[in-house]
Amino acid sequence: MNAAAQFENVTQVFGDFTAVDGIDMTIPAGKLTTLLGPSGCGKTTSLRMLAGYTRPTSGRILIDGNDVTRTAPEKRGLGMVFQSYALFPHMTVAENVAYGLKLRRVPRPERDARVAESLELVGLGHLASRKPRALSGGQQQRVALARAIAIRPRLLLLDEPLSNLDARLRVQMRAEIRRIQAETGLTVVLVTHDQDEALEMSDEMILMRAGKIMQQGAPADVFGSPKNRFVADFLGYENFVQTVSGLVTVRPEHVEIVPGTTAPATGLALPAVVTDVAYRGVDQIITVTSRDQNGQVTLMSDVRADDAPRVAIGDDVIVTAPESRLISIEN
């Protein structure tokens, strides 16, 4: 794997809060990597350290193999898109995009061409002379992208770029950012707290919690074999059962509920009581509490509504899942 950026034992402490706790990570070149995790996990701090806005308390940061730990942001040549977009309100769209090029003393004809090209890439060529406040949220987002891309950055950093957009636009922009990444071949690092966004957009996914990296890998690998309870929980596994061989997890869509008390011979089989039945149109979610394990374990089954077993709250059932769907994890 060709590394665009690396973190070596990087720690960031703010007062008595350790935002990032000795992480090592590699950002692959030419790919889209997401930093995923709940708020306060250190993902945004990591991005800001990569951009140079905060200096790590200890550790090293490398970009293209060069140590940039103490390099000012303006000397790093990265493109950053802020959550608030941070468009310069006193400049037009074209002036915003041209800002980085002017600082690089790109001659006028080339500058104009690159501004036009960047705006074209995000589909906003026709709004070049508008002021940012005259644009919708989605358009402002695209301007911020164009401005970052225009300087031909070594890395394109996106801090929760979609969180201020409405639901439909957000899904649309996921594909849009993927397309731009593919067309430009840029190395993109995207921070998000939305697992669907990360799964859909990333080539590489880095899941963080409390300043530490929980798991890194391709989305299918991380989703297919979560290493620990946090990762499984964050990605929607829902069901955790202590068995003789250790903790296992299984996704709700792989859990079957069988009315009655007769258990199958293989795989998971737990006697339980139905505690909730939620009909959701396409599917149905049945929540049960296990009779074993001191009634501590709540399990969830997600089945197609057409095939759903006829069970009601208080019914005795057997919760089953095939052996092949059970994933052993660390607690």
Partner 1 sequence: MNTRHPVAATLAVAGYIVMIVPILFVVATAFTDGETLSFPPRGFSVRWFGEALSYQPFVGSLVTSLEIALLATVLALAVGVPVTLAIHRGALPGKGLVENLFLSPLIVPELVVGLALFQQLIVTFRIDNWPVLLIGHTALLLPYAVRVTGAALAGSDASLEEAARGLGASPMRAFWTITMPLLRPGIFSAALLSFITSFNNVPLSLLLQSRKTQTLPVTMLDYVQQSYDPMVAAISTIILAATIVIAVIAERTVGFAKIFGGING
Interaction site with partner 1 (CB under 8 A): 51-53, 72-74, 76-80, 82-84, 86-90, 99-100, 103-104, 147-148, 151
Angle at which helices 108-121 and 167-184 cross, to 10°: 130
**Pairing relation of β-strands 188-192 and 156-159?**
parallel
CB closer to partner 1 out of 53 and 279: 53
For residues 133, 135, 138, 144, the Cα torsion angle rounded to the nearest 10 degrees is: -60
- Smallest gap from Cβ 80 to partner 1, in A, equals 4
User: Which tokens go with 314?
Assistant: 């208080």
CB closer to partner 1 out of 88 and 279: 88
- Smallest gap from Cβ 198 to partner 1, in A, equals 23
Q: Give one DSSP letter per residue of 291-329, joined into a string.
A: SSGGG--EEEEEEEGGG-----TT-EEEEEE-GGG-EE-
- Smallest gap from Cβ 153 to partner 1, in A, equals 9
Distance, CA of 237 to CA of 230 (rounded, Å): 10
- Smallest gap from Cβ 289 to partner 1, in A, equals 47
- Smallest gap from Cβ 61 to partner 1, in A, equals 15
CB closer to partner 1 out of 87 and 173: 87
- Smallest gap from Cβ 266 to partner 1, in A, equals 56
CB closer to partner 1 out of 159 and 197: 159
- Based on its alpha-carbon atoms, the radius of gyration of the chain, rounded to whole angstroms, reads 24
CB closer to partner 1 out of 23 and 50: 50
Helix and strand element counts for the chain (H, E) = 8, 18
- Smallest gap from Cβ 29 to partner 1, in A, equals 20
CB closer to partner 1 out of 73 and 217: 73
- Smallest gap from Cβ 99 to partner 1, in A, equals 5
Give Cα separations from 27 to 41, 58, 64 (angstroms).
18, 19, 10
Helix H, strand E, coil C: the string for 158-171 is: EECCCCCCCHHHHH
CA 174 to chain centre: 11
- What lies within 8 Å, CB to CB, of 57 at 6+ separation is 11, 12, 13
CB closer to partner 1 out of 80 and 297: 80
DSSP type of residue 262: P
**Pairing relation of β-strands 32-36 and 204-209?**
parallel
Neighbours of 141 (CB within 10 A): 25
CB closer to partner 1 out of 82 and 240: 82
